Structure formats: C-alpha cells, structure tokens
C-alpha cells in the first residue's frame, strides 16, 4: 500500500499509540472531556447493542478512505464495548462507549488497583424500565402459563444474535424453558442495511411455521443460526425440506414474500419499543439490549420468579 505523507482523513495508527503512552492519555482525556461535557449539557443516557456500536465503528473507519475494516469480535468490558477490527491485516482492539458515540483507542488504568475492564462481576446487566410488550401472534416456546416471559428481537445474520443463540439461549432453554418456568417469544428485527440475508431468513422461518406450527418454526430457527454463515434462499429451501415441509408450498411462500410484512411489522413494533439493534430482549418487560452472558439473564429471571 502506498504511503501518504499527508491525509485529510483519520488514520488508526497502532504503532504510534504503542510508542507514545502520553499520546494515548491525551486522546483518552480529550475524548472523556467531550463525552462528559456532552452528557452533562444534553442529559443523554442509555446504550445501544454491541452489534450497533460495532457497525457504527466499522462504518466510521471505512468512511475515512484508508482501507477497509472488518469486524472480528465485540464484547462488553465494564462500561465500554471492546471491539476488535481487522484493519490493514492487523487485529486492532478499540473501545467504544456504550451509547456508541465515542471511540477510545486504549484505556489506561489510573491506579494499580483499578479493576480490569473485563471484570464486570460487580456491575452486571442493567435492564431498562419495564414496558408492556405484546406477544401477539409471534412464535412461542415453552409453558404459556409461565411466570416469566422473555421476548427476543433477533436478526438471523447478526453475529451477536448467533452468539446469544449458542451461549445464552441454549442455557435458558435447558434451565427455564424446558422446566416450564419461562415462555420464550421470538420477534424479527433484521438489520437489512448491513445484513442482506436476514429478511429472507426470517420469512423462511415463518413459511415453515405455516406448515409445521410453532414446533417447526423453532426447528427452523435453530437451523438458521446453526448455519448462519451460509444463509441463502436456496439453502433455506433445502433446510425446510429436511424438516418435513411440502416443498412446492414452502417455495411459493418464500418466493412470493408472503411473510415480508410479518417481518417488517415486527421490526416496526420493536422500534416503537426503543429497539435499535440485536439481540434485544425483554424479560417480563425489562429491556436488556445486547448479547449478555447467561449469568445476567439468570439473575433477572430468578429475581422475577422470586416475586
């Protein structure tokens, strides 16, 4: 890649940061001053999902014109998201504030006893205010008379939804859904601007449901997440047949867009509740935005069961 002596764009130069600790400190202080000044004057609080914060960061980096950044991973570290991006053949960790508005290149501990950013044991998930979430005609799994109802807004192509499926949902199902303590509800929220296959994947699950009811829907739900890297209409037709649908009827449903409005209506409903990214869950109406670990869900579920 040709080296540019001068540039009108922002560059992420990790070598400079590693060589000059005072530059890191200066950047962090400047960002934090802007951050706190902004919040003090505007009174803005809240957070976005890790998915939304990561995509905002990727879009920002790519808009600078110095190379393409690709997302490697995202996780919450205390009061920040740690987002690892591959940029110019390097995996670079970058920290973003939970509201998704500010970037911090490398936090510097201000004392020897400062907790590690990965230590969130004392903080845990902080659910939002309770809201009334309608189940409507959405697919459900579990005991319909359960004391706790979890409504998840999901995107079948979202990597963080995939992680939620494999690491968190599976444990919730084993410990709470299968034991009759939780009713789980699935609603669609495809981020179509960044996930081109998410809309049709959601429609495919509903087309299976037409023939095989909720039982078939959840089997298709599992197949879609288990094969998240190979989502396509062609594959969805194959997977649906593996579940036992009548092929021609399914194909007609998916190709015609029969459930396109079902999916878009779910998205619009999520937006009306304040959903902006995925996964986004409501536990008895308590909002929890992001791919939080099972332990956070367990704490909230147990608290609701104890009431």
| CATH number of 277's domain | 3.40.30.10
Mean pLDDT, all residues of the chain? 81
User: Would you give the end-to-end CA distance of the chain in angstroms?
Assistant: 61
DSSP 55-72: HHHHHHHHHTSS--EEEE
pLDDT tier at 125 (50, 70, 90 boundaries)? low
More confident of the two residues 88 and 31: 88
Residue 120 lies in a domain: no
Judgement on whether residues 97 and 146 belong to the same structural domain of the protein? no
The two three-digit tokens of residue 57, written as one number: 């960061």
Are 139 and 183 in contact, with CB atoms under 8 Å apart?
no
Judgement on whether residues 209 and 264 belong to the same structural domain of the protein? yes
For residue 102, is pLDDT > 80? no
The two three-digit tokens of residue 249, written as one number: 């009827």
Judgement on whether residues 299 and 151 belong to the same structural domain of the protein? yes
Judgement on whether residues 171 and 218 belong to the same structural domain of the protein? yes
DSSP 163-185: HIIIIIIHHHIIIIITTTSEEEE
Residue-wise burial string across 161-190, b where 16 or more C-beta atoms lie within 10 A, e elsewhere: bbbbbeebbeebbebbbeeebbbbbbbbbb
Q: What is the mean pLDDT of residues 263-284?
A: 94
**Domain end: 53, 86, 104, which one?**
104
Are 173 and 184 in contact, with CB atoms under 8 Å apart?
yes
Residue 83 lies in a domain: yes
Residue 289 CA neighbour count, 13 Å, CB half? 22
pLDDT digits (tens, 9 = 90+) for 222-271: 999 999 999 999 999 999 999 999 999 999 999 999 999 999 999 999 99
**Domain end: 59, 83, 104, which one?**
104
Residue 269 lies in a domain: yes
| CATH number of 51's domain | 3.10.450.520
Judgement on whether residues 76 and 218 belong to the same structural domain of the protein? no
For residue 305, is pLDDT > 90? yes
Residue 170 lies in a domain: yes
Percent of the chain with pLDDT strictly greater than 70? 74
Judgement on whether residues 217 and 81 belong to the same structural domain of the protein? no
More confident of the two residues 98 and 253: 253
**Domain end: 56, 88, 104, which one?**
104
Residue 288 CA neighbour count, 13 Å, CB half? 25
Judgement on whether residues 170 and 268 belong to the same structural domain of the protein? yes
Q: What is the mean pLDDT of residues 94-107?
A: 73
The two three-digit tokens of residue 90, written as one number: 């390097």
Q: State the total domains in the chain.
A: 2
Residue 6 lies in a domain: no
| Cα 299 from Cα 82, distance rounded (Å) | 23
Which contiguous run of DSSP H or E holds residue 206? helix 198-226
Backbone φ, ψ for residue 261 (5° rounding): -70, -35
Residue 45 lies in a domain: yes
pLDDT digits (tens, 9 = 90+) for 19-76: 444 444 444 444 444 444 444 444 434 578 888 888 888 887 777 666 788 888 887 7
Using the structure block, give the residue that is written with the tokens 């739900």: 221
| Cα 301 from Cα 149, distance rounded (Å) | 9
Judgement on whether residues 164 and 85 belong to the same structural domain of the protein? no
pLDDT tier at 294 (50, 70, 90 boundaries)? very high
- Show the domain range for 68: 14-104
Q: Write down the pLDDT at residue 8.
A: 41
For residue 198, is pLDDT > 70? yes
The two three-digit tokens of residue 264, written as one number: 């878009």
More confident of the two residues 116 and 94: 94
Using the structure block, give the residue that is written with the tokens 């049709």: 200
DSSP 244-275: T--HHHHHHHHHHTTTHHHHHHHHHHHHHTT-
């Amino acid at each position: 890649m040709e080296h540019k002596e001068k540039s009108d764009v922002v560059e992420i130069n990790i070598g400079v940061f590693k060589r000059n600790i005072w530059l890191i400190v200066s950047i962090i202080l400047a960002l934090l001053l802007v951050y706190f000044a902004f919040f003090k004057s505007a009174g803005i609080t809240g957070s976005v999902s890790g998915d939304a914060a990561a995509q905002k960061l990727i879009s920002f980096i790519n808009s600078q014109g110095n190379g393409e950044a690709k997302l490697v991973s995202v996780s919450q570290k205390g009061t920040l998201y740690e987002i690892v991006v591959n940029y110019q053949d390097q995996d670079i960790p970058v920290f973003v504030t939970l509201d998704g508005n500010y970037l911090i290149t490398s936090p510097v501990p201000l004392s020897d006893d400062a907790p590690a950013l990965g230590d969130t044991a004392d903080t845990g998930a902080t659910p939002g205010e309770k809201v009334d979430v309608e189940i409507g005609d959405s697919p459900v799994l579990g005991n319909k008379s359960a004391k706790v109802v979890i409504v998840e807004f999901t995107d079948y192509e979202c990597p963080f939804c995939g992680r939620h499926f494999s690491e968190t949902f599976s444990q919730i199902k084993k410990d709470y859904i299968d034991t009759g303590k939780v009713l789980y509800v699935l609603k669609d929220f495809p981020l179509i601007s960044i996930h081109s296959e998410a809309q049709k994947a959601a429609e495919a699950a509903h087309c299976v449901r037409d023939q095989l009811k909720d039982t078939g829907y959840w089997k298709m739900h599992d197949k879609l997440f288990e094969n998240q890297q190979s989502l396509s209409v062609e594959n969805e037709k194959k997977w649906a047949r593996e579940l036992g649908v009548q092929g021609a009827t399914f194909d007609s449903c998916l190709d015609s867009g029969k459930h396109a409005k079902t999916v878009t209506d779910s998205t619009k409903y999520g937006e009306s509740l304040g959903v902006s990214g995925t996964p986004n869950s409501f536990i008895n109406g308590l909002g929890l935005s992001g791919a939080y670990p099972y332990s956070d869900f367990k704490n909230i579920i147990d608290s609701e069961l104890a009431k």
